[in-house]
């Protein structure tokens, strides 16, 4: 195989290597672009995860507060219920010993007797009797008032118990709603975490492909540089061979021309200027 054929063969191989290198570099660029996009998506999802976590934590804090409020409401309701039980027991005892009549009637009777004592001329025994009646009526009136006060307190306690229970139920309802919302957000956060994990894994895999492809392209580049050196060396040798051939050809042609000129000179024929210069140059070289 001639050197020129070898150059052509190496040049063709060089072209193939460059084509393969360009293909690998294009693959590396594509992998890098996909990797960068995935990394951007990963960062975005991580921000969403942080936002979801903050929102979930805020709701959980509210749930904790609502649990405390519900617990306090239940404790307060239990205390009020216990007070109501004691008050009912007292009311039952008072009702059991309840005297006849009612508050208005007893008050009227006391007022009438007081008026009679103050305005009538009574003997001492009569006045004493009336005072005794007022005292008895006052005792009965006091019993009725105690019962009335106990009933009023019982009604008030029942109203407080209802209000406290209502607040507790409201806290429980809001708590349940927030707890459900917190669970939903937590589940969404877990899904985002899984999404971010997959994005990161895919980005890492693409980065690995990018590095491997670049390394492979570098190997081709090394081969390319080696071929370029070989081709340059062969081209240099071809030029040297061509120059040598040219000089040899020129030498042969000069010898022929010199021989022809000498023969013309021997025959007495007129020389051309170029022939004259050539013979003169030869003589000077011999001298």
Q: How far apart are CA 287 and CA 264, in angstroms?
A: 23
Share of the chain above pLDDT 90, in %: 25
Q: Decide which of 223 and 61 is more confident.
A: 61
State residue 192's pLDDT score. Answer: 94
Lowest mean pLDDT among 48-57, 83-92, 193-202, 275-284: 275-284
Note the pLDDT of residue 235.
Answer: 83
* pLDDT band at residue 256 under the 50/70/90 scheme: confident
Angle at 254 between CA 238 and CA 282, to 5 degrees: 120
Instruction: Write the CB contacts of 58 (distance below 8 Å, at least 6 apart in sequence).
Output: none
Q: What is the pLDDT of residue 181?
A: 93
Backbone angles phi, psi at 78, to 5 degrees: -60, -40
Give the helix, strand, coil percentages of the chain, each rounded to 5: 95, 0, 5
Q: Where are the domains of the chain?
A: 30-215
- Those residues whose C-beta lies under 8 Å from the C-beta of residue 14, and which sit 6 or more positions away, are 224, 227, 228, 231
pLDDT (tens digit, 9 = 90+) per residue, 201-214?
999 999 999 999 88
pLDDT digits (tens, 9 = 90+) for 153-187: 888 888 888 888 888 888 888 889 999 999 999 99
| DSSP for residue 269 | P
Cα–Cα distance for residue pair 70/226, rounded to 1 Å:
82
- Residue 282 or 135, more confident: 135
Contacts of 69 (CB under 8 A, 6+ apart): 167, 168, 171
Average pLDDT of the chain? 82
* Mean pLDDT to the nearest integer, 64-89: 85
% of the chain exceeding 70 in pLDDT:
87
* CATH, domain range 30-215: 1.10.287
pLDDT of amino acid 72: 86
pLDDT of residue 98: 64
Supply the pLDDT for residue 274.
Answer: 66
Per-residue pLDDT band at 51 (split at 50, 70, 90): very high
Residue pointed to by tokens 């806290």: 171
């Amino acid at each position: 195989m001639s050197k020129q054929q070898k150059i052509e063969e190496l040049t063709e191989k060089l072209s193939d290597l460059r084509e393969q290198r360009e293909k690998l570099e294009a693959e590396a660029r594509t992998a890098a672009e996909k990797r960068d996009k995935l990394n951007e998506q990963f960062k975005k999802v991580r921000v969403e995860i942080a936002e979801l976590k903050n929102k979930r934590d805020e709701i959980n804090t509210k749930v904790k507060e609502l649990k405390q409020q519900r617990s306090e409401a239940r404790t307060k309701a239990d205390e009020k219920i216990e007070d109501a039980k004691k008050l009912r027991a007292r009311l039952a005892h008072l009702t059991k010993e309840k005297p006849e009549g009612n508050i208005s009637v007893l008050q009227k009777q006391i007022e009438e007797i007081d008026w009679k004592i103050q305005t009538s001329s009574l003997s001492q025994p009569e006045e004493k009797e009336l005072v005794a009646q007022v005292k008895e009526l006052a005792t009965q009136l006091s019993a009725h008032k105690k019962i009335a006060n106990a009933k009023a307190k019982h009604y008030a306690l029942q109203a407080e118990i209802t209000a406290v229970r209502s607040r507790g139920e409201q806290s429980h309802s809001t708590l349940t709603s927030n707890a459900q919302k917190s669970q939903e957000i937590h589940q969404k956060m877990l899904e985002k975490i899984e999404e971010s994990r997959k994005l990161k894994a895919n980005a890492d895999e693409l980065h690995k492909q990018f590095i491997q492809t670049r390394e492979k392209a570098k190997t081709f580049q090394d081969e390319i540089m080696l071929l370029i050196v070989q081709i340059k060396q062969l081209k240099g040798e071809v030029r040297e061979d061509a120059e040598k051939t040219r000089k040899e050809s020129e030498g042969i042609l000069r010898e022929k021309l010199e021989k022809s000129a000498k023969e013309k000179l021997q025959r007495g024929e007129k020389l051309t200027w170029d022939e004259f210069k050539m013979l003169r140059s030869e003589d000077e070289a011999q001298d």
